[in-house]
Copies of this chain bind each other. A is one copy, B any other.
C-alpha cells in the first residue's frame, strides 16, 4: 500500500467522516460539508431536482413531515428502515421520482439516515448533497472551491456503511489528484483505499454486503442499481437557509 499522496503543499483539507455521530469530531475548520446517503436519500434528492422540484425541506421526524400532508404544492416523503412510512406517498426511492413532472413542487422528506446527517451539519458554511448520480459534477465543483471539505457519510442506523464510504473515497481521490487538497484523518485514508479496492465493481462489492441482500429482499434491485450508476446528473442540491435548492454544475470530464 503506497501512501495516499505525498501531499507536499496542499492548501486545503478533504476529510471523510464515516458516521453522523462522529460529525462534531470532524467539523472543526470544515467550510463545506457534503452529505452522502447513496442508498437512497441523497440519490433521491438529486433525482427529484432533475425532475423539476423547486426545493426540498429535510426534516428530522415523521411528526414534522406529517404536518405538510395535503398542503397544495407539497409532496411529502417519509422512509424508515428502507420502507415508505404508512400514510405517506413517497419514501426515499429515487425511481419513484423518475419520469414524473415535479416542476414547481416542494418535497418534504424524512429518512432514517440521510436527513439526520443534513440536519446535524446544517450550520456548515456550505452544505451540498452527493451521490454516485452526480459524482463528476460534484467533484469538479468541489475542486474549484477554496475551503476545507468534509465528506459526511450517513451510515446505516448509526453504523458504518460501505457504499457511502466508497463514494466518499471516490470523490476524495479526485480532489487529491488536483494537488490542491490533502488529508489528515485515518478515516480519509481508509475511504480512499476502500474506493481503490471497490472501483472495478461496485455492485459485486455490495453483493458481499448483507444490507444489499436486505434491499434485494425488499425487491429494490432496480433502485440499488440506479443509485450506484455514476454521472447521470449534473445537479448538486445545496442547502440555503435550511432548505435544499438546485444548483446545476455541468461537468467537463464526464
B-binding residues in A (CB < 8 A):
1-4, 18-19, 21-22, 25-26, 156-162, 165, 183-187, 189-190, 193-194, 196-198, 200-201, 204-205, 207-211
Task: Kindly list 14 other residue pairs between chains A and B, CB separation below 8 angstroms, not including A193-B193, A193-B198.
Answer: A1-B198, A2-B208, A18-B160, A22-B159, A25-B157, A26-B159, A156-B186, A160-B186, A160-B190, A162-B190, A186-B211, A189-B208, A190-B190, A196-B197
Per assembly, the copies of the chain total: 2
Partner of A18, one of B18, B25, B198: B18
Q: Which single member of B18, B25, B198 contacts A158 (CB below 8 Å)?
A: B25
Known: A18-B160, A204-B3, A208-B4. A193 touches B197 (CB 8 A): yes
- Residue numbers in B under 8 Å from A1 (CB-CB): 197-198, 200-201, 204-205, 208
**9 pairs, CB–CB < 8 Å, chain A vs chain B:** A3-B204, A3-B208, A4-B208, A22-B158, A159-B187, A162-B186, A186-B211, A189-B208, A190-B194
With beta carbons under 8 angstroms apart, the residue of B156, B194, B208 that contacts A194 is B194
Q: Which residue of B lies closest to A196 (CB)?
A: B197
Q: What distance in Å separates the Cβ of A239 from its nearest Cβ neighbour in chain B?
A: 25
Contacts of A204 in B (CB 8 A): 1-3
Chain B nearest CB, measured from A6 CB (Å): 9
What are the nearest 6 A-B pairs in CB distance? A3-B208, A160-B187, A162-B186, A1-B205, A193-B197, A184-B210
Q: Which residues of B contact A205 (CB under 8 A)?
A: 1, 3
Give the Cβ gap from A13 to chain B, nearest Cβ, in Å. Answer: 11
Complex Cα distance A157/B184, Å?
Answer: 14
Chain B residues near A165 (CB-CB < 8 A): 186, 190
Alpha-carbon separation in the docked complex, A162 to B18 (Å): 13
Q: Determine the residue in chain B with the shortest Cβ distance to A193.
A: B197
- A166: shortest Cβ distance to chain B, in Å? 9
